[in-house]
């Protein structure tokens, strides 16, 4: 597996090759990421991943500092999974404009998580556009845990006539129902025991109000629970750790 921290070297390697599959990540990989990688490897002649903890999408500097980093373990997992190349750029390489240019969306990005994390989705869209332009993939893979992010990236691809197919992949859960997330590493043992209740409550509560009350009783600090277009979205904190999840309100027909 080739690892590129220099974007010029990456451009030379990419030149003249057919379009790969691409999995952008912020590292701290878990089986949810690996399900995206497996799909990318299965569907494409070659597969590229990126690891970059993107400062532009963290509205809270403490959250950026605390974001788990384990690059060596990540690279080992990507190699085992069959990834051919990994982009590992530093901030200077990816933001030669020193953050002067920023892509913004004016509706969906302001709702749900966007209402609680101002600027977050503009930061995501900006870095994803940069990465898609660098990699020029045939398909790029994103997890449905970040469902709002997936919808916004699809919308961006359509709005800017990008040549990449945006593929959404199902949430991977722990056996107790907790959606896999790099942030789960930061839960203490008691929080980890409570965390799966987020999924249980949003799956079983009759309405968002009932879910908010049940989560608050369990010790969550709830950002929101909202039903939008047959899907229930939720974000809630346990201490410093913010968890998100979403479930379909209507089960798809078998
Ligand atoms: O979902 C993530 O890990 C990030 O938001 C992404 C898509 C890699 C952009 O930084």
94 within some domain: yes
> Catalytic amino acids?
33
**Domain final position from 136, 169, 202:** 169
Same domain for 9 and 126, yes or no, is yes
Residue 254 is predicted with a pLDDT of: 66
Q: Is the CB of 127 under 6 A from ligand 1?
A: yes
Q: Is the CB of 151 under 6 A from ligand 1?
A: no
Same domain for 130 and 187, yes or no, is no
Q: Is the CB of 86 under 6 A from ligand 1?
A: no
Cβ neighbours for 150, distance < 8 A, ≥ 6 positions apart = 142, 143, 144, 166, 168
Same domain for 191 and 135, yes or no, is no
Residue matched to tokens 């892509």: 103
59 within some domain: yes
Residue 21 is predicted with a pLDDT of: 99
The answer to whether the beta carbons of residues 234 and 220 sit under 8 Å apart is no
Residue 66 is predicted with a pLDDT of: 92
**Domain final position from 169, 191, 207:** 169
Burial of 30 (0-12, 13-18, 19+ CB in 10 A): middle
Same domain for 153 and 50, yes or no, is yes
Number of domains in the chain: 2
CATH number of the structural domain spanning residue 196: 3.30.1300.10
Residue 253 is predicted with a pLDDT of: 63
Q: Which atom of ligand 1 is nearest to the CA of 54?
A: 10
Pocket-testing residue among 56, 149, 154, ligand 1, by greatest number of atoms within 8 A of Cβ: 149
Please report the DSSP string for 151-215 in residue order: HHHHHHHHHTT-SPEEEEEPPPB-TTSPBP-GGGGG--HHHHHHTTHHHHHHHH-SSHHHHHHHH
Spell out, as residue ranges, where the chain has pLDDT lower than 50.
Answer: none
What is the bridge-based pairing of β-strands 221-228 and 231-238?
A: antiparallel
Same domain for 137 and 186, yes or no, is no
253 within some domain: no
Which residue ranges are tagged as binding site? Answer: 26-33, 57, 143-146, 149, 172, 180-183
In degrees and rounded to multiples of 5, residue 207 shows phi and psi of: -150, 170
Residue 250 is predicted with a pLDDT of: 77
Same domain for 120 and 73, yes or no, is yes
Nearest CA to ligand 1 atom 6: 25
CATH number of the structural domain spanning residue 76: 3.40.50.620
Same domain for 120 and 209, yes or no, is no
User: Could you tell me the two tokens for 155?
Assistant: 């919308």
Q: Which domain holds residue 231?
A: 182-247
175 within some domain: no
71 within some domain: yes
165 within some domain: yes
Residue 231 is predicted with a pLDDT of: 98
Same domain for 95 and 119, yes or no, is yes
Alpha carbon distance 139, 44 (integer Å): 8
Same domain for 14 and 137, yes or no, is yes
CA 63 from chain center: how many Å? 15
Nearest to 203 by CA among 184, 178, 168, 240: 178
Q: Is the CB of 26 under 6 A from ligand 1?
A: yes
Same domain for 46 and 152, yes or no, is yes
Q: Which atom of ligand 1 is nearest to the CA of 57?
A: 10
177 within some domain: no
């Amino acid at each position: 597996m080739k690892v590129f921290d220099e974007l010029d070297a990456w451009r030379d390697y990419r030149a003249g090759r057919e379009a790969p599959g691409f999995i952008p990540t912020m590292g701290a990989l878990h089986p949810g990421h690996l399900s995206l990688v497996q799909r990318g490897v299965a569907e494409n002649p070659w597969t590229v991943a990126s690891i970059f903890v993107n400062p532009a999408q963290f509205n809270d500097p403490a959250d950026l500092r605390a974001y788990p980093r384990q690059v060596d373990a990540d690279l080992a997992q990507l190699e085992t999974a069959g990834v051919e190349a990994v982009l590992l750029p530093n901030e200077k390489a990816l933001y030669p404009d020193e953050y002067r240019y920023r892509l913004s969306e004016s509706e969906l990005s302001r709702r749900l998580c966007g209402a609680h994390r101002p600027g977050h989705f503009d930061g995501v869209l900006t870095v994803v556009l940069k990465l898609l332009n660098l990699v020029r993939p045939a398909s790029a893979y994103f997890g449905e845990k970040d469902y709002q992010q997936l919808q916004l990236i699809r919308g961006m691809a359509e709005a800017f006539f990008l040549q990449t197919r945006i593929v959404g992949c199902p949430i991977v859960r722990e056996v107790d129902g907790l959606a896999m997330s790099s942030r789960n590493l930061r839960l203490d043992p008691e929080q980890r025991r409570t965390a799966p209740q987020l999924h249980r409550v949003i799956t079983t509560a009759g309405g968002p109000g009932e879910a908010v009350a049940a989560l608050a009783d369990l010790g969550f600090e709830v950002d929101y629970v909202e039903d939008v277009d047959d899907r229930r979205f939720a974000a809630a904190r346990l201490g410093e750790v913010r968890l998100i999840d979403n479930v379909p309100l209507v089960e798809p027909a078998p």
